Structure 1
Amino acid sequence: MTKFILPAAVAALAVLAAPAAVFAAESSQSVRAATDAAAGSVAINAGKMLYSSNGQRVAAIYRVTADGNPQVILNGKLVTVPASTLSDVNGKVTTSLTKIELGRAK
Protein backbone atom coordinates (compact mmCIF):
# COMPACT_ATOMS: atom_id res chain seq x y z
CA MET A 1 0.00 0.00 0.00
CA THR A 2 2.81 2.43 0.80
CA LYS A 3 4.29 1.84 -2.66
CA PHE A 4 1.33 3.64 -4.19
CA ILE A 5 1.24 6.66 -1.87
CA LEU A 6 4.30 8.42 -3.33
CA PRO A 7 3.26 8.06 -7.00
CA ALA A 8 -0.28 9.11 -6.11
CA ALA A 9 0.99 12.20 -4.30
CA VAL A 10 3.24 13.14 -7.23
CA ALA A 11 0.35 12.70 -9.66
CA ALA A 12 -1.93 14.84 -7.48
CA LEU A 13 0.66 17.62 -7.32
CA ALA A 14 1.14 17.48 -11.09
CA VAL A 15 -2.59 17.86 -11.64
CA LEU A 16 -2.73 20.81 -9.23
CA ALA A 17 0.34 22.53 -10.69
CA ALA A 18 -0.71 22.21 -14.34
CA PRO A 19 -3.47 24.87 -14.23
CA ALA A 20 -1.09 27.35 -12.60
CA ALA A 21 1.50 26.79 -15.34
CA VAL A 22 -1.14 27.13 -18.06
CA PHE A 23 -2.53 30.28 -16.44
CA ALA A 24 0.96 31.82 -16.24
CA ALA A 25 1.56 31.08 -19.92
CA GLU A 26 -1.83 32.49 -20.91
CA SER A 27 -1.26 35.61 -18.81
CA SER A 28 2.10 36.36 -20.38
CA GLN A 29 0.69 35.74 -23.84
CA SER A 30 -2.28 38.01 -23.22
CA VAL A 31 0.01 40.74 -21.85
CA ARG A 32 2.23 40.47 -24.93
CA ALA A 33 -0.83 40.54 -27.22
CA ALA A 34 -2.19 43.62 -25.44
CA THR A 35 1.17 45.34 -25.70
CA ASP A 36 1.46 44.50 -29.38
CA ALA A 37 -2.07 45.73 -30.01
CA ALA A 38 -1.40 48.97 -28.13
CA ALA A 39 1.84 49.58 -29.99
CA GLY A 40 0.19 48.69 -33.29
CA SER A 41 2.67 48.50 -36.12
CA VAL A 42 5.16 50.86 -34.50
CA ALA A 43 8.68 49.48 -34.76
CA ILE A 44 10.25 50.36 -31.42
CA ASN A 45 13.98 49.70 -31.35
CA ALA A 46 16.81 51.05 -29.26
CA GLY A 47 18.63 53.80 -31.12
CA LYS A 48 15.60 55.08 -33.07
CA MET A 49 14.65 58.70 -32.54
CA LEU A 50 11.45 59.48 -30.63
CA TYR A 51 9.42 62.46 -31.83
CA SER A 52 6.62 64.43 -30.19
CA SER A 53 3.28 64.94 -31.94
CA ASN A 54 4.39 68.36 -33.23
CA GLY A 55 7.39 66.78 -34.98
CA GLN A 56 9.99 67.91 -32.43
CA ARG A 57 12.80 65.46 -31.69
CA VAL A 58 12.55 64.26 -28.10
CA ALA A 59 15.45 61.83 -27.65
CA ALA A 60 16.89 58.59 -28.96
CA ILE A 61 15.29 55.46 -27.54
CA TYR A 62 17.75 54.10 -24.99
CA ARG A 63 16.10 50.70 -24.54
CA VAL A 64 12.74 48.96 -24.62
CA THR A 65 11.33 47.37 -21.47
CA ALA A 66 9.97 43.83 -21.36
CA ASP A 67 6.42 45.16 -21.58
CA GLY A 68 7.19 47.15 -24.74
CA ASN A 69 7.58 50.64 -23.31
CA PRO A 70 10.53 52.59 -24.72
CA GLN A 71 12.84 54.41 -22.35
CA VAL A 72 14.71 57.60 -23.21
CA ILE A 73 17.27 59.68 -21.35
CA LEU A 74 15.82 63.16 -21.07
CA ASN A 75 17.60 65.91 -19.14
CA GLY A 76 19.82 63.29 -17.49
CA LYS A 77 16.83 61.25 -16.30
CA LEU A 78 15.62 57.85 -17.52
CA VAL A 79 12.02 58.31 -18.64
CA THR A 80 9.65 55.48 -19.59
CA VAL A 81 7.26 56.42 -22.39
CA PRO A 82 3.94 54.53 -22.32
CA ALA A 83 3.58 52.36 -25.43
CA SER A 84 -0.08 53.37 -25.61
CA THR A 85 1.00 56.92 -26.56
CA LEU A 86 3.06 55.78 -29.56
CA SER A 87 2.21 55.82 -33.23
CA ASP A 88 4.02 55.64 -36.54
CA VAL A 89 3.96 58.97 -38.39
CA ASN A 90 5.75 58.84 -41.75
CA GLY A 91 8.02 56.06 -40.47
CA LYS A 92 8.92 57.92 -37.27
CA VAL A 93 8.17 56.72 -33.73
CA THR A 94 5.92 59.49 -32.40
CA THR A 95 4.40 59.98 -28.95
CA SER A 96 1.26 61.96 -28.22
CA LEU A 97 3.04 63.47 -25.20
CA THR A 98 5.09 66.64 -25.46
CA LYS A 99 8.73 66.88 -24.49
CA ILE A 100 7.73 68.98 -21.48
CA GLU A 101 5.21 66.35 -20.33
CA LEU A 102 7.86 63.64 -20.63
CA GLY A 103 10.31 65.80 -18.69
CA ARG A 104 7.81 66.06 -15.84
CA ALA A 105 7.30 62.29 -15.67
CA LYS A 106 8.45 60.63 -12.50
Structure 2
Amino acid sequence: MNKFASLAALATVATMAVVPTAVFAETTQAVHEVTEEAAAPVELNAGMMLYASNGYRIAPIYRVNAEGNPQVILNGRLVTVPISTVSEVEGKVVTSLSKKEVARAK
Protein backbone atom coordinates (compact mmCIF):
# COMPACT_ATOMS: atom_id res chain seq x y z
CA MET A 1 0.00 0.00 0.00
CA ASN A 2 2.91 2.36 0.75
CA LYS A 3 4.29 1.84 -2.75
CA PHE A 4 0.91 2.75 -4.23
CA ALA A 5 0.69 5.89 -2.10
CA SER A 6 4.19 6.89 -3.16
CA LEU A 7 3.36 6.32 -6.84
CA ALA A 8 0.12 8.28 -6.53
CA ALA A 9 1.93 11.19 -4.88
CA LEU A 10 4.63 11.14 -7.54
CA ALA A 11 2.03 11.07 -10.34
CA THR A 12 0.20 14.02 -8.78
CA VAL A 13 3.39 16.07 -8.51
CA ALA A 14 4.37 15.22 -12.08
CA THR A 15 0.92 16.22 -13.37
CA MET A 16 0.98 19.51 -11.53
CA ALA A 17 4.45 20.26 -12.91
CA VAL A 18 3.25 19.67 -16.47
CA VAL A 19 0.05 21.74 -16.28
CA PRO A 20 0.89 25.39 -15.61
CA THR A 21 -0.95 27.08 -12.77
CA ALA A 22 -1.73 30.02 -15.06
CA VAL A 23 -4.28 27.81 -16.83
CA PHE A 24 -6.06 27.22 -13.54
CA ALA A 25 -5.98 30.93 -12.67
CA GLU A 26 -7.35 31.97 -16.09
CA THR A 27 -10.14 29.40 -15.89
CA THR A 28 -11.13 30.52 -12.40
CA GLN A 29 -11.13 34.17 -13.45
CA ALA A 30 -13.24 33.44 -16.54
CA VAL A 31 -15.79 31.48 -14.49
CA HIS A 32 -15.94 34.29 -11.94
CA GLU A 33 -16.54 36.90 -14.64
CA VAL A 34 -19.35 34.88 -16.23
CA THR A 35 -20.95 34.30 -12.84
CA GLU A 36 -20.81 38.00 -12.00
CA GLU A 37 -22.43 38.92 -15.32
CA ALA A 38 -25.17 36.31 -14.92
CA ALA A 39 -25.97 37.18 -11.30
CA ALA A 40 -28.51 39.95 -11.28
CA PRO A 41 -29.03 41.89 -8.07
CA VAL A 42 -31.76 40.40 -5.93
CA GLU A 43 -34.63 42.65 -4.81
CA LEU A 44 -34.97 42.07 -1.07
CA ASN A 45 -37.75 43.30 1.18
CA ALA A 46 -38.70 42.66 4.78
CA GLY A 47 -41.14 39.79 5.09
CA MET A 48 -39.79 37.75 2.17
CA MET A 49 -38.97 34.15 3.11
CA LEU A 50 -35.29 33.15 2.96
CA TYR A 51 -34.64 29.60 1.79
CA ALA A 52 -31.56 27.37 1.97
CA SER A 53 -30.25 25.89 -1.27
CA ASN A 54 -31.80 22.52 -0.33
CA GLY A 55 -35.27 24.14 -0.35
CA TYR A 56 -35.81 24.34 3.40
CA ARG A 57 -37.18 27.58 4.83
CA ILE A 58 -34.74 29.42 7.06
CA ALA A 59 -36.71 32.46 8.27
CA PRO A 60 -38.52 35.52 6.98
CA ILE A 61 -36.28 38.50 6.26
CA TYR A 62 -36.62 40.88 9.20
CA ARG A 63 -34.91 43.80 7.46
CA VAL A 64 -32.24 44.66 4.91
CA ASN A 65 -29.24 46.58 6.28
CA ALA A 66 -27.53 49.55 4.59
CA GLU A 67 -25.08 47.24 2.74
CA GLY A 68 -27.98 45.28 1.24
CA ASN A 69 -27.50 42.19 3.41
CA PRO A 70 -30.72 40.51 4.56
CA GLN A 71 -31.12 40.09 8.29
CA VAL A 72 -33.24 37.36 9.87
CA ILE A 73 -34.17 36.50 13.43
CA LEU A 74 -33.04 32.95 14.04
CA ASN A 75 -33.00 31.25 17.43
CA GLY A 76 -33.74 34.60 19.08
CA ARG A 77 -30.77 36.35 17.45
CA LEU A 78 -30.55 38.91 14.67
CA VAL A 79 -28.35 37.28 12.02
CA THR A 80 -26.92 38.99 8.95
CA VAL A 81 -26.73 36.82 5.82
CA PRO A 82 -24.02 37.92 3.36
CA ILE A 83 -25.61 39.22 0.16
CA SER A 84 -22.90 37.40 -1.81
CA THR A 85 -24.59 34.12 -0.84
CA VAL A 86 -28.09 35.24 -1.88
CA SER A 87 -29.75 34.69 -5.25
CA GLU A 88 -33.23 34.36 -6.67
CA VAL A 89 -34.24 30.87 -7.77
CA GLU A 90 -37.70 30.29 -9.25
CA GLY A 91 -39.00 33.42 -7.56
CA LYS A 92 -37.62 32.50 -4.12
CA VAL A 93 -34.82 34.22 -2.20
CA VAL A 94 -32.21 31.49 -1.69
CA THR A 95 -28.91 31.51 0.16
CA SER A 96 -26.11 29.06 -0.62
CA LEU A 97 -25.66 28.62 3.15
CA SER A 98 -27.38 25.93 5.18
CA LYS A 99 -29.61 26.84 8.12
CA LYS A 100 -26.80 25.74 10.49
CA GLU A 101 -24.31 28.02 8.71
CA VAL A 102 -26.74 30.94 8.89
CA ALA A 103 -27.27 30.27 12.60
CA ARG A 104 -23.50 30.45 13.14
CA ALA A 105 -23.17 33.77 11.25
CA LYS A 106 -22.88 37.03 13.14
Q: TM-score per shorter chain, which class?
A: 0.5 to 0.7
Letter in 2 for 1:42: V
Corresponding residue number in structure 2 for 1:58? 58
Q: Distance in 2 between matches of 1:44 and 1:90?
A: 15
Alignment of 1:2-13 (within 5 A): none
Residues in 2 aligned to 1:40 and 1:76: alpha-carbon distance in whole angstroms: 31
2:69 maps to which residue?
69
Give the alignment's Cα RMSD to 1 decimal: 1.5
* 1:41 positional shift: 3.4
Stretches of 4+ moved more than 2 A in 1? none
**How do residues 1-106 of structure 1 correspond to structure 2 at under 5 angstroms?**
40-106=40-106
Give the total of aligned pairs.
69
Q: Deviations over 1:16-39 (max 9, x none)?
A: xxxxxxxxxxxxxxxxxxxxx8x7
Distance 1:105 1:71 in 2: 11
Higher relative contact order (CA 8 A, sep 6+): 1
Q: Which runs of 5+ in 1 are unaligned?
A: 1-36
Q: CA deviation at 1:105?
A: 1.5
Q: Percent identity?
A: 68
TM-score between both structures, scaled by the size of structure 2: 0.62
Distance apart, 1:43 and its partner CA: 1.6
> In terms of Rg, which structure is larger?
1
